[in-house]
Structure formats: structure tokens, C-alpha cells
Structure 1
Amino acid sequence: MKLELRDITKRFGSFTANDSISLTVEPGQIHALLGENGAGKSTLMNTIYGMHAPTSGQMLLDDEPVSFSGPGDAVAAGIGMVHQHFMLIPVFSVTESVALGYEPTSGAGMIDFAAARKRVEEISARFGFDVDPDTTIEELPVGAQQRVEIIKALARDARVLILDEPTAVLTPQETDELISIMRQLKEAGTSILFITHKLREVKAVADTITVIRRGEVVGSAEPTASETELASLMVGREVSLTTQKQPAQPGEAALEIEGLTVLSGNGKVTLDSVTLDVKAGEILAVAGVDGNGQTELTQAILGVRQAASGDIRLNGESLKGKSVKERLNSGLGFVPEDRSTDGVVAGFSITENFVLDMYDQPPYASGPAMKPAVMRAAAQEQTTRFDVRMGTVDDPIRTLSGGNQQKVVLAREMSRDLKLFVASQPTRGLDVGSIEFVHRTIIEERDKGTPCLIVSTELDEALNIADRIAVMYRGRVIGIVGPHTSRDVLGLMMAGVPSEEAERIAAEHQTTLSEMDEEVDG
């Protein structure tokens, strides 16, 4: 199916989110829409899907004009959408989630779950999704939940599939699986509109690229364009994809973790005798496939998970027995991996979220009296510094894009008088321009002498900003290496291979490749 947009404009009051956007997605084509967070990508997708009515402009399917009064109309017309934040009910099974709202019925008017289950099995088998129709959503990893969303769209005969920032919450391995799925869908004739800000993925899978900036189309490109060219087009200026930094000048160990063991609610060991340290004036990156204990490590540092054994010390003082509030007040800046659940309160204003756990402390309060004007001024200053795209600091934070919510969390945590900075996936959902700024800001914090622990599933990020990299596998630190370690070695370590053996295997693999090259040249 061919999807065409002609001069689509969407305004919210005086704010123009989309300004005369035109593009065409040909049948069986992967068309990437590339842009910064807040550029208007998600608004445009929601307009196509019938969640917003365009202020002006026209949409056509197979050259016929269409207009939708809601998502049901879009689905009926053959458009499916996988949202950045999945629309799934945790306690439902895969079958129930796929059937919800479009339940097949038997002759007696009862829901035909057998038919729904068969449909899930057929689509899963056709595309190799490997999804059990009887598993509940909450039992599935994030990558599998995304496959359920795609099955849901295909079960409703979607011929145009919108993927809105589909890799924002995926590990590198899950991203590779998604790219493979997209190619299969394309071969089957599905048209895909792929919304993202990740240049490597665009180049890997797109047939053509449209770039939007501040709600307007600013150009188009082929996937043969360099990442630097795409980044510059997206941001509107030259962008460095590598962060320049001076060698670290580390001091004494400021954060010391010794023999730390954490158990899950059912008694399973999720963090197994972890010992590591972060020195003053150093960035230690923790790498690994998601789910290997990184979450438990950061939560134990914050105090929301209790240690079964071991100790955590900050500047020589044990944090054992200290509450979360006490740890934050002592100078811990903490960026959680899930901003929407753990980082912000959706109904609160941007200002209220900026002072979320500091509202009762100077300069935001004097005794029991809060100082709203001081809070607002500080929020305004820091959101301007972090380039948060917003109306005013009085707006509810839920009105911001996911990336801009992340910037508010970062602005809040980095505005403290930091003794330790811990960030889990600090640039998840951010565009290249924002990533450049965040990395530079973290390095500036390091250069002040602050110990920084950064958890990231993005190998490029770990290699870009870290002074040392600790790799976790099944709750253990399998090795700590330098920032010049190859991606091959890190990848092997993330699969559980100890560092020395990983280096040997990688070297042998490289030798084999060199011999092959010599044979070809000969």
C-alpha cells in the first residue's frame, strides 16, 4: 500500500508541531523519518494513525484521499502502529493482547480465543517471531513485547506499519532482530514508516530517508549518506559523533562496592558478589546485555534494593542502613533507566519534577515554607541549559517528548552538589545533538573530580566516554577493561567470555580474516 502525505500541518494552539510536511512511502518500502527529539516525528505519526486530526493538509492511501476520526479508522484502512511506549496490558496473555478490541467471535457470539490463538501462531511462525501465545505480557522481555505489538498490527491486516522509535528500549541484539523482522516484512510487501534518531540503524535498513527539524522537512537522503552528513542535516549544524576529552586524572577510590549480593523477591541471586570501585575524577561504564544485574547494581547504590551481603561505601562511609532520601541528600545524583516510571511524575509540572526530591531543602525552601519563584527560576535556567523543547516550565511534564523528559531528569540530577553521579542509560531516547551535549556534561562533571558510574547497553557510548569499562554477565563482573578495547572483545565478554580469553579469541578471529584477505589478494 502507498501512503502519501501532502502538506500536513498540525497546530496545538499557537504551537506548530508539524509544518507542511510532505512525504511518500511506496509499497514494500522502508522509509525512515529521521529527526531530533521534539522535532515533531511522533505528532506526525499520531496524526497518520488518527489520534490527532491534521489542522490542514491531505493524506492519501493508494492515491485515494482519506481522513480518520480515530485509530479504529486507521486500522480499518490498513495502517498499524507500534508506539514507543507499548500499549499492552501486563496481566494479559499474548493472545488476549492481540485480540483486544478486535475479538473474533464464534457463532454463539462468544469470543473465539482458539481462532485468536491460531492467528498469533500463524503470524509468529511466518516471520519467526518465536512468541508463545499463552505467555503473559509481564513475563516477556522488552524485545518480545515489541514483537507482540507487531503481531497485533499484522493480525489486523496492516499493510502500512508505523514503527515509532522502535529501538529506544532494545538491546543491540534485540535491535538486530528487529531489523531482520523489518526486512522480512518488506519482502512480504508491507510498507514501513520507521521513525528514529539512530543513524546506524537508518543506514542499515532504510530504502530512503526524510529528515525533519522543528516540525519541517529539511531534506532527504539515501542510506549511502555518511552518519556525519545525516547528523548535520538532522541538527542543523556540524556535530561531532565522538566526544573529545582529556585523559582522566583519577584520585582515590570514592565509590567502593565490596562483595555485593542482591536477591530477587523469590530468593534468586540477581547480583553475585560484585566488587568494583569508581575513583574520584573517573567515568566507569558498566556494559552488558540488559538483564545481567545492571539494574540491581544501580538500585542497590540508590537504596531501593537491600543487599543480602556485602557493602557500599562512598568516600569511606558505608551507605548501609541509609534511606534513599539520605543518600540523595548526601550528594548522589541518580538517573534511572526507566524515566517514565521512576524518573518523573507525569501529572506534575516541569518545575515540580525538577525539584521532585529537593523541594524541602535550600534554596527551594526555608524551614517549612517552599519558594515557588526560586524553584521556577532554577527549573527555567537548567531546562534552557539542557535545551528542553517545551512551552513553559509550568506545563505538565507528560506534554514533553520522551527525550525531553530525559533531559529534565538529567538537568535535575546534575544540578546537585554531586559527590557521586550514577546514570543508567543516560542518553536512551536522545538524538545525536543531545547525546553530544550530555556526554560533554558528564565529562565536565568528571573533570570536577566527581566519580561517575554510567550503565549503558550502547557499546558506542561506553567506548566514547568511559575511562574504564566493567562488563557484567549473569550478575557478576566478568572483567574490567580500558576504553580502547575492541567491540569484538567487549561483545564476547557480554556473552560471558572472560576478558583474557575474549582477547585471544578476537585476535585469532582477526588473524583468520587477515589470512582470508591475503588469499583473496593473491
Structure 2
Amino acid sequence: MEYVIEMLNIRKEFPGIVANDNVTLQVKKGEIHALLGENGAGKSTLMNVLFGLYQPEKGEIRVNGKSVKITDPNIANDLGIGMVHQHFMLVDPFTVTENIILGKEPRVAGKIDIRSANKEVRELSERYGLSVDPEAKIADISVGMQQRVEILKTLYRGAEILIFDEPTAVLTPQEIKELIAIMKALVKEGKSIILITHKLKEIMEVCDRVTVIRKGQGIGTVNVSETDPNALASLMVGRDVVFKTVKSDAAPAGDVLDIKGLKVNDSRGVNAVKGLNLSVRAGEIVGIAGVDGNGQSELIEAITGLRKLEEGSIKINGKEIANKTPRRITESGVGHIPQDRHKHGLVLDYTIGENVALQTYYKKPNSRNGVLNYRRIYEKARNIIAEFDVRTPSEYTPARALSGGNQQKAIIGREVSRDPDLLIAAQPTRGLDVGAIEYIHKRLIEQRDNGKAVLLVSFELDEVMNISDRIAVIYEGEIVAILNPKETNEQELGLLMAGSKRLEAGENFHV
């Protein structure tokens, strides 16, 4: 059998942890090969070894049958290996072309030939159906477009083998469809793709074979045509996974969150939330469904004090919190799981213990007379790590060193342990595996069952339908419908999210 990539018995260690324990991965030419595993299973580590960012302690790598030593990413590029990272490596003020040619600039008489570079980028973009404007600035284009720039960067360097690291974690449903079409087009051109993911639906839709890693060890490789999502989930987490969350009917009480006539501007000063009304009661989960960019971020930032209101009222338990400071809002009974865990959820270079204390460090017993009590801070962190199954070498580990799923569990542990009356969960399972998703959904439902109000904001329609008691559809900054999940479906929600009005009973959809 001729493989384009063979990673044989790879072992990679970090202080106190074996990230890859004799893992073998073999990729055929022209296939999309999934690398599946829980958060922290060792998938990204294995691909960072292949891309030359890490050096393995043991094992052999072969490219097109030849044994190679990949000591840095330049060697990987020379061997035809390109990597599209989960967190994009782009320079915001530069144009698309400037980012793509960085480090490999075409020159004429010693000067960078930007005109011919633009032409080449445009041709590459058209050839692979990527439709990117070469002269646009990175800061001005969407996340989906930025990802296309990362793909073009690898193609510009002549990549024949492309590694995609969790490529759909930050994309909208529409962008995911477009990315899948792009991946299929790349394979038709003779490229080979390794797809790091934990999204079983995508594996079933686009992949040929899948290699499963669990706790750093290779579990095996299977043909996608011969398996199903349940079997893959069991291989991934080592037990059966429940996809449909079981919950009793909600028994809501009075309003905890009450928003009336809310108007909020975005960063450009344009009205993003337009006279929005919404309430969330104690003992219920209200899910907000909508396409990214319809005012969700501005709504959450207004509630949590991160963005100024232009008009309107936001009350928690009957008390006005509009335009109060984030600390005052937090102390009024609001917990916040932010949509960007790196930007707003954690200080990545702080330890887990310090991150867990971020909301309460100034209170007893965490401090006295302005002096931090680290013994109590780390004791609390140990309790949260145990209760919320945060997989970390210790409470002294920097947050940066944890996988995305474990970072998310630490944030949820911090917010839930403060016992807030309203818990705002924004994209709480973005980028997480099925095991972590199942766990987080259970914790959100637990909050509801404890009489708390939960506001869920998610781009994952099945997540919104699965755990919400009521669904509020947001479109262009307004709530256009409030639905019972038992009386709607993804088709109706999708149409409402795209701006169509709700149909009256007896009418039919015309799509």
C-alpha cells in the first residue's frame, strides 16, 4: 500500500504528560483522513510533530515512502505539507496577498512584486473556488474568509498534504458547507487532507477513513462507510455517548432577566441591537438562535457590561443593571461563559487557580486587606478541577497549556461555583468533543433544575433545540419569534434566522 504520509509509533512527551503514546497514522493519496479524539487526546500534538513544530521522542515519519526528519515548518513546507491552524496565523493590518506571500515574497530588482503576487493569489483563489479578494485587509474580512486565506497560504507554498486543525470550530453553518465543498475540490485536484476534528456529522459527510486517538493512544483506523456516529463516539470516549439530552419539562418561576427596548451599537457605531425585548425566567433555558452577526455579541456584551447601551432597560431580579460596570453586574447575580474563551474567559498565562479566582479574588476568603490568600485560592481551584472534571496536571498549570475543552470546563466551573441567578452561556460547546458537550449540557440543565435562569446563545441549531425550553430567534438585532422547541424544526428555524416571517397554522413552506 502506497501512503503519502506514515507516522509510525510516534511518542511525544511533555513534562508530566505523554501526549502521544506510540501512535501510528497512515494517510493515502487523494483521501480526506479524519483524526478523531476528545479535547486533549493528542490530535493537535501529533499534527504539530508532522508539521515540525514539535520533535518526537520516538518514532518514524515517512513522506511518499521516504523516511524524513522534519525539524521545522520550513522543512514540512518543502516536503509539501501545509497546516491550517485552529487559531489563524495572520497579520491583521496586512492585505490577503501580503499574508499569503509572507516569507516567500516574489521580487523584481530586489523589490517585492506585489502586482504579480496579487495576480497569482487571484488565480489560485479562482482555481480552488476560494473567491477571496487579494487586496482586502485581514482586519476587514470575516472569519470564514480568513480561513480561506490560511488555506491559500499553504497552496501558495505548494502543499500537496493539507492538515486542517478543527477547521469548523469558528465557522457559521453556511461557512461550514462552503469549506466542505472546498475540501472536496482540493482532493479532486489530487491533494490529500488530514482533518483534525471531533464533529462526527462532518466526518460522516466528508471523510474516507478515520483514525481514533484516546488519551494519547491510537485506538484504530476505520473506513467511514463501514461505521456510524454512535460507534465513532464510543471509540473516541471509551463509553456510549447520549446525543439527545434527557431532561424533564421546565417549571419556570418569575423573570430573572427582563430586557425592554434595548438598542446597542457595534464597534463601528452602527445600530446592531434594535429595540429588542426578551425575558428569561428562573428555572428555564432560553436559547437564542441566529446566524452570526445578527446582534448576538452586542446583546451579550450589553447585559454583561462590556458594551454601552444606547437605549432601553436591562433588569436582573427587578433591579436595573444597564451600563453598570462588569463587576457590579457580576455581583448582581450574573454568570458569563463568554464566546471567546481566550479573549474574554481566561488570562492564558495565569495558572488555573488564578483564573478560577478572577471574579472573586478581592473577596474573603481569597484576600484580606488587599493581600491574596493563595492557599485558599488553590484549595478552591482543586475543588473545581475535581467537580468539573478539568483535566490538568495541577492547579498550578498555566491555562494556556490546557486543551480547549478543559479551558471551557474551568470557566464553567468558575461561573457555576459562584451560584449566579442568571447564567449566560455563549457558544459554550464551540470546538468541543461529544463527551465534553454531553457534560456541559448536563451542567446547564442542572443549573436550570436548581431554579436558575440560563440564556444560551449558540450557532449550533441542534444544541439550541436539544436543551432549550424556549427558543428566541434573532434577526438583524431583533427577536423575530419565540418558539417551543417541541413545536418547531430546523427548517422553520433556518427560515426565521434568514429573515422570513413565521407561517400561520396550516400554511406550507416554500423554500
- Does structure 1 residue 492 correspond to structure 2 residue 462? no
Q: What residue is the counterpart of 1:165 in the other structure? A: 166
Q: CA deviation at 1:268?
A: 1.1
Q: What residue is the counterpart of 1:229 in the other structure? A: 231
**Which of these residues, 17, 20, 25, is aligned with residue 19 of structure 2?**
17
Q: What residue is the counterpart of 2:205 in the other structure? A: 204
Residues 154-209 of structure 1, C-alpha deviations (whole Å, 9 max, x = no match): 01010000000001111111111111110000100110000000110111100001
Letter in 2 for 1:111: I
Contact 2:37 2:198 in 1 (8 A): yes
**Which of these residues, 371, 374, 394, is aligned with residue 376 of structure 2?**
374
SS in 2 for 1:499: coil
Contact 1:489 1:503 in 2 (8 A): no
SS in 2 for 1:7: strand
Deviates more, 1:354-363 or 1:93-102: 354-363
Letter in 2 for 1:209: V
Q: What residue is the counterpart of 1:50 in the other structure? A: 52
Letter in 2 for 1:498: K
Residues 347-388 of structure 1, C-alpha deviations (whole Å, 9 max, x = no match): 111111111121011332234232211111111111222222
Return the alpha-carbon distance in structure 1 between the equivalents of residues 363 and 332 of structure 2.
Answer: 12
Return the alpha-carbon distance in structure 2 between the equivalents of residues 77 and 86 of structure 1.
Answer: 22
Q: In percent, how many aligned pairs have the same letter?
A: 47
Return the alpha-carbon distance in structure 2 between the equivalents of residues 465 and 401 of structure 1.
Answer: 25
SS in 2 for 1:16: strand
Q: CA deviation at 1:321?
A: 4.1
- Does structure 1 residue 216 correspond to structure 2 residue 217? yes
Q: CA deviation at 1:4?
A: 0.9
Residues 279-321 of structure 1, C-alpha deviations (whole Å, 9 max, x = no match): 1101000011111100001000001111111110111111124
SS in 2 for 1:357: coil
Deviates more, 1:360-369 or 1:379-388: 360-369
SS in 2 for 1:22: strand
Q: What residue is the counterpart of 1:443 in the other structure? A: 445
Q: What residue is the counterpart of 2:32 in the other structure? A: 30
Return the alpha-carbon distance in structure 2 between the equivalents of residues 315 and 184 of structure 1.
Answer: 53
Deviates more, 1:155-164 or 1:367-376: 367-376
Deviates more, 1:305-314 or 1:400-409: 400-409
Residues 68-107 of structure 1, C-alpha deviations (whole Å, 9 max, x = no match): 121111011100000000000111100000011111111x
Contact 1:249 1:282 in 2 (8 A): yes
Return the alpha-carbon distance in structure 2 between the equivalents of residues 221 and 500 of structure 1.
Answer: 45
Q: CA deviation at 1:406?
A: 1.5
SS in 2 for 1:443: helix
Q: What residue is the counterpart of 1:517 in the other structure? A: none
Return the alpha-carbon distance in structure 1 between the equivalents of residues 314 and 334 of structure 2.
Answer: 13
Residues 35-57 of structure 1, C-alpha deviations (whole Å, 9 max, x = no match): 00000001011100000011110
Residues 362-421 of structure 1, C-alpha deviations (whole Å, 9 max, x = no match): 332234232211111111111222222221110111111222211211111111121110
Q: CA deviation at 1:223?
A: 2.0
Question: Judging changes above 3 Å, is the alpha-carbon distance between structure 1 residues 502 and 203 closer, same or farther for their aligned structure 2 residues?
Answer: farther
**TM-score where L is the length of structure 2:** 0.97
Q: CA deviation at 1:501?
A: 6.3
Divergent runs of 4+, >3 A: 501-506
Return the alpha-carbon distance in structure 2 between the equivalents of residues 227 and 359 of structure 1.
Answer: 43
Q: CA deviation at 1:505?
A: 4.3
Question: Judging changes above 3 Å, is the alpha-carbon distance between structure 1 residues 29 and 477 closer, same or farther for their aligned structure 2 residues?
Answer: same
Q: What residue is the counterpart of 1:179 in the other structure? A: 180
Q: What residue is the counterpart of 1:269 in the other structure? A: 271
Return the alpha-carbon distance in structure 1 between the equivalents of residues 505 and 370 of structure 2.
Answer: 57
**Unaligned stretches of 5+ in structure 1?**
510-522
Deviates more, 1:466-475 or 1:403-412: 403-412
SS in 2 for 1:275: strand
Return the alpha-carbon distance in structure 1 between the equivalents of residues 45 and 217 of structure 2.
Answer: 12
Q: What residue is the counterpart of 2:125 in the other structure? A: 124
Question: Judging changes above 3 Å, is the alpha-carbon distance between structure 1 residues 502 and 374 closer, same or farther for their aligned structure 2 residues?
Answer: farther
Letter in 1 for 2:349: G
Return the alpha-carbon distance in structure 1 between the equivalents of residues 100 and 507 of structure 2.
Answer: 47
Return the alpha-carbon distance in structure 2 between the equivalents of residues 455 and 377 of structure 1.
Answer: 32
Q: What residue is the counterpart of 1:341 in the other structure? A: 343
**Unaligned stretches of 5+ in structure 2?**
none
- Does structure 1 residue 401 correspond to structure 2 residue 395? no
Q: What residue is the counterpart of 2:466 in the other structure? A: 464
Return the alpha-carbon distance in structure 2 between the equivalents of residues 185 and 216 of structure 1.
Answer: 30
Q: What residue is the counterpart of 1:332 in the other structure? A: 334
Letter in 1 for 2:311: S
Q: What residue is the counterpart of 1:194 in the other structure? A: 195
Question: Judging changes above 3 Å, is the alpha-carbon distance between structure 1 residues 468 and 373 closer, same or farther for their aligned structure 2 residues?
Answer: same
Letter in 1 for 2:492: V
Q: CA deviation at 1:241?
A: 0.6
Return the alpha-carbon distance in structure 1 between the equivalents of residues 324 and 249 of structure 2.
Answer: 34
Q: What residue is the counterpart of 1:85 in the other structure? A: 87
Q: What residue is the counterpart of 1:513 in the other structure? A: none
Contact 1:204 1:223 in 2 (8 A): no
Question: Judging changes above 3 Å, is the alpha-carbon distance between structure 1 residues 9 and 504 closer, same or farther for their aligned structure 2 residues?
Answer: farther
Return the alpha-carbon distance in structure 2 between the equivalents of residues 302 and 213 of structure 1.
Answer: 37
Contact 1:489 1:502 in 2 (8 A): no
Letter in 2 for 1:447: D
Q: CA deviation at 1:220?
A: 2.3
Q: CA RMSD in A?
A: 1.4
Return the alpha-carbon distance in structure 2 between the equivalents of residues 282 and 487 of structure 1.
Answer: 21
SS in 2 for 1:194: strand
Question: Judging changes above 3 Å, is the alpha-carbon distance between structure 1 residues 235 and 265 closer, same or farther for their aligned structure 2 residues?
Answer: closer
Q: What residue is the counterpart of 1:114 in the other structure? A: 115
Q: CA deviation at 1:111?
A: 1.1
Q: What residue is the counterpart of 1:286 in the other structure? A: 288
Q: What residue is the counterpart of 1:478 in the other structure? A: 480
Question: Judging changes above 3 Å, is the alpha-carbon distance between structure 1 residues 64 and 468 closer, same or farther for their aligned structure 2 residues?
Answer: same
Return the alpha-carbon distance in structure 1 between the equivalents of residues 10 and 371 of structure 2.
Answer: 48
Contact 2:266 2:298 in 1 (8 A): no
- Number of positions where the alignment pairs a residue of Structure 1 with one of Structure 2: 507
Residues 1-23 of structure 1, C-alpha deviations (whole Å, 9 max, x = no match): 71111111101134210011112
Q: CA deviation at 1:222?
A: 2.4
Question: Judging changes above 3 Å, is the alpha-carbon distance between structure 1 residues 277 and 503 closer, same or farther for their aligned structure 2 residues?
Answer: farther
Q: What residue is the counterpart of 1:455 in the other structure? A: 457
SS in 2 for 1:81: strand
Deviates more, 1:139-148 or 1:477-486: 477-486
SS in 1 for 2:260: strand
Return the alpha-carbon distance in structure 1 between the equivalents of residues 506 and 344 of structure 2.
Answer: 37
Question: Judging changes above 3 Å, is the alpha-carbon distance between structure 1 residues 72 and 501 closer, same or farther for their aligned structure 2 residues?
Answer: farther
Q: CA deviation at 1:263?
A: 1.4
Question: Judging changes above 3 Å, is the alpha-carbon distance between structure 1 residues 48 and 445 closer, same or farther for their aligned structure 2 residues?
Answer: same
SS in 2 for 1:301: helix
Question: Judging changes above 3 Å, is the alpha-carbon distance between structure 1 residues 13 and 268 closer, same or farther for their aligned structure 2 residues?
Answer: closer
Contact 1:206 1:223 in 2 (8 A): yes
Return the alpha-carbon distance in structure 2 between the equivalents of residues 218 and 158 of structure 1.
Answer: 28
